[in-house]
Chain A
Amino acid sequence: MGVGIEVINLNAWYGTNHTLQDINLNIPANHATALIGPSGCGKSTFVRCLNRMHETNPIARVTGTVRIGELDIYEDSKPVEVRRRVGMVFQRPNPFPTMSIYDNVAAGLKLNGFSNRRVLNEIVEKSLKNSALWDEVKDDLKKKSGASLSGGQQQRLCIARALAVDPEVLLMDEPASALDPVSTSKIEDLIFQLKTQYTIVIVTHNMQQAARVAEKTGFFLNGRMVEFDSTHKIFTNPSDKRTEDYITGRFG
């Protein structure tokens, strides 16, 4: 089951660059939340702070509190533990090129020392079914490399890989921006199904996509969160002038 995310006074820096300023919001459990805003506004940095992926960059620094469910991820936990609970799907599909489809999905478990073959088989099948890829790959699981799939299939493989470690939250950083329209709509259908089981946070440049998949939407601008509300409200009657300007295409 998904859990809610509570962000209190989050600030982030890359070197001396203050990329996130005083972010406060509550992301509801088992819903999809979209983050929109022009390039460089901090939305990708923000989702990276939710699973401490920003720490892979040595010049990044964060203050503030992030709670995933009951867990204060900066106080009570280590990055590897946080990342097992908060899965991530990246902008470009990034399957492990030397691994089979099966091993790609099983990677998160295998690399953390899990080796029960029967359980692995079940988890791989379940994850691929959950990511709507099973029927397309079930005959080539161990024969084909993850890199041999099409771009859209690769992205669903990456989603399956993230689901296999059984996270509570799934972060998606522009998951469809490198895909064609058909693959994009498959990913969106998937988000619809997945949000019954997981809390989903999706960064997107595509405002129609945000409107289609998300119940809540946050608008980021210059490292600040300008507005956070129900998607319907954001797109029909935003409270802030800047939000209105952005969604009507006046900048960004």
Chain B
Amino acid sequence: MKAGENKLRSKVRALADGVATGLAILSTALVVAPLLIIFGYLVYKGASSLNLDFFTQIPKPEGETGGGMANAIVGSGVVLGLASLIGIPIGIGSGIYLAEFGRGTKLAETVRFTADVLNGVPSIVMGMAVYALVVSPAMPFSALSGGLALGIMMIPTVCRTTEEMLLMVPHAVREAALGLGVPNWRSVLSITVKTASPGIITGCMLAFARVAGETAPLIFTAFGNAFWSISLFRPIAALPLSIYIYANSPYEDQHRQAWAGALVLIILIVAAVSLVRWVTSRGVLKGAS
């Protein structure tokens, strides 16, 4: 081969490399940009309404300025806490069943299919269903029914990520535990689930963050409340509901509060996810994979 030809080839190769790298950087920017734009816009619109009152006061009567969303912030916490209590254990439990005990069975096949369908059910339908099946016959509008609606929505995400993360644990790790004379159930809980726990926690956080912003299922269940309430059996306020109501109001002050609420909602979600990640990453050892 001639020297000139070689030189040309290496130039073409360098060019192709540059183009590919450039495209990758561009795509990354396109992924990050919407998030930054949304966040920036929220800060621009909402930050001015953020003050101590916003976090400590309940809403003022319509038409009056001032007041805050303390009840909605706490209410969101209560409803999401309930949702996690319902969705995470059931989701993880069913995920463990799918990956470890039910492999290849008809039941597992059915559960997996059901979870996937459940994942695709629109959130407004979930709200209506919980309203029709639980709220109207058995329980009034309440924090509990709101938590139930969101909890059911968390189950499929948690279940399927748990299953996938467990299946990624190498067979050799399971064999090591069984080879030591550890019973299968113990091996699953103490070895397989523990090895997969970072991924399982990520799945739970994804499910949590997704339902944290849901409005539709809460309209028919938690209902919203303009007053202070943390009772599980009464209607309760929640940030997405308050944002929805305020954004539809005719008053400029309430619009600003809606923006502030949206900003707080996003910050709280990020804070909750980061906190969980921080807490769960503290025990990780040097060189652990």
Please report A residues at the B interface, Cβ cutoff 8 Å: 51, 53, 56, 80-85, 87-88, 90, 92, 94-100, 107-108, 111-112, 140, 143-145, 147-149, 158, 161-162, 165
Establish whether residues B177 and A107, one from each chain, have CB atoms under 8 Å apart when the complex forms: yes
B229 contacts the other chain (CB 8 A): no
Q: List the 9 shortest-distance A-B pairs measured between CB atoms, nearest first.
A: A148-B287, A84-B181, A145-B288, A108-B180, A83-B181, A94-B172, A88-B179, A145-B285, A94-B176
Could you say which residues of chain A place their CB within 8 Å of the CB of B289?
97, 145, 147
Minimum CB–CB distance for A58 against chain B, Å: 8
Residue from the list B170, B176, B286 in contact with A158, Cβ < 8 A: B176
Establish whether residues B182 and A112, one from each chain, have CB atoms under 8 Å apart when the complex forms: yes
Establish whether residues B191 and A51, one from each chain, have CB atoms under 8 Å apart when the complex forms: no
B277 contacts the other chain (CB 8 A): no
Residue from the list A53, A81, A98, A147 in contact with B178, Cβ < 8 A: A53
Establish whether residues B179 and A100, one from each chain, have CB atoms under 8 Å apart when the complex forms: no
B195 contacts the other chain (CB 8 A): yes
B197 contacts the other chain (CB 8 A): yes
Establish whether residues A98 and B175, one from each chain, have CB atoms under 8 Å apart when the complex forms: no
Establish whether residues B181 and A56, one from each chain, have CB atoms under 8 Å apart when the complex forms: no
Q: Which residue of A lies closest to B178 (CB)?
A: A56
A165 and B179 CA atoms in complex are apart in Å by 11
Establish whether residues A145 and B286, one from each chain, have CB atoms under 8 Å apart when the complex forms: yes
A171 and B248 CA atoms in complex are apart in Å by 72
Q: Which residue of B lies closest to A167 (CB)?
A: B181
Residue from the list B173, B175, B180, B194 in contact with A161, Cβ < 8 A: B180
Establish whether residues A144 and B172, one from each chain, have CB atoms under 8 Å apart when the complex forms: no
Interchain pairs with CB closer than 8 A, number: 93
Could you say which residues of chain A place their CB within 8 Å of the CB of B175?
53, 56, 90, 94
Q: Which residue of B lies closest to A161 (CB)?
A: B180
Establish whether residues A165 and B287, one from each chain, have CB atoms under 8 Å apart when the complex forms: no
Q: Which residue of A lies closest to B176 (CB)?
A: A94
A33 and B175 CA atoms in complex are apart in Å by 23
Mark out the residues of chain B between 192 and 212 whose CB falls within 8 Å of any chain A CB in the assembled complex: 194-195, 197
Residue from the list B172, B174, B182 in contact with A111, Cβ < 8 A: B182
A33 and B246 CA atoms in complex are apart in Å by 79
A147 and B172 CA atoms in complex are apart in Å by 13
Minimum CB–CB distance for B33 against chain A, Å: 36
Residue from the list A83, A84, A97, A144 in contact with B195, Cβ < 8 A: A97
A111 and B183 CA atoms in complex are apart in Å by 9
Number of B interface residues in the complex (CB < 8 A): 26
Minimum CB–CB distance for A10 against chain B, Å: 19
Minimum CB–CB distance for B244 against chain A, Å: 43
Establish whether residues B197 and A98, one from each chain, have CB atoms under 8 Å apart when the complex forms: yes
B48 contacts the other chain (CB 8 A): no
A83 and B181 CA atoms in complex are apart in Å by 5
A99 and B177 CA atoms in complex are apart in Å by 12
Could you say which residues of chain B place their CB within 8 Å of the CB of A140?
286
Establish whether residues B176 and A96, one from each chain, have CB atoms under 8 Å apart when the complex forms: yes
A29 and B23 CA atoms in complex are apart in Å by 66
Minimum CB–CB distance for B228 against chain A, Å: 44
Could you say which residues of chain B place their CB within 8 Å of the CB of A99?
285
Minimum CB–CB distance for A30 against chain B, Å: 21
Minimum CB–CB distance for B215 against chain A, Å: 38
16 new A-B contacts at CB < 8 Å, known A83-B180, A144-B285, A165-B181: A82-B181, A83-B181, A84-B181, A90-B175, A90-B176, A94-B170, A94-B173, A96-B177, A98-B285, A98-B288, A107-B177, A111-B182, A111-B190, A147-B287, A147-B289, A148-B286
Minimum CB–CB distance for B136 against chain A, Å: 47
Q: Contact mask B148-185 → A, CB, 8 Å, 1/0?
A: 00000000000000000000001011111111111100
A149 and B170 CA atoms in complex are apart in Å by 18
Q: Can you list 28 residue pairs at the A/B interface with Cβ under 8 Å?
A: A53-B178, A53-B179, A80-B183, A81-B181, A83-B179, A83-B180, A84-B180, A87-B179, A87-B180, A90-B172, A90-B175, A97-B173, A97-B195, A98-B284, A98-B285, A98-B288, A107-B182, A108-B180, A111-B180, A111-B190, A112-B182, A112-B186, A140-B286, A144-B287, A145-B285, A145-B288, A158-B176, A162-B180
Could you say which residues of chain B place their CB within 8 Å of the CB of A95?
176
A56 and B181 CA atoms in complex are apart in Å by 12
Most chain A CB atoms below 10 A, which of B173, B181, B182: B181
Could you say which residues of chain A place their CB within 8 Å of the CB of B191?
96, 107, 111
A112 and B186 CA atoms in complex are apart in Å by 8
A108 and B180 CA atoms in complex are apart in Å by 5
Could you say which residues of chain B place their CB within 8 Å of the CB of A108?
180-182
Most chain A CB atoms below 10 A, which of B194, B197, B285: B285
Q: Would A100 and B285 be within 8 Å (CB), given that A81-B181, A111-B182, A165-B181 are in contact? A: yes
Minimum CB–CB distance for B17 against chain A, Å: 34
B187 contacts the other chain (CB 8 A): yes
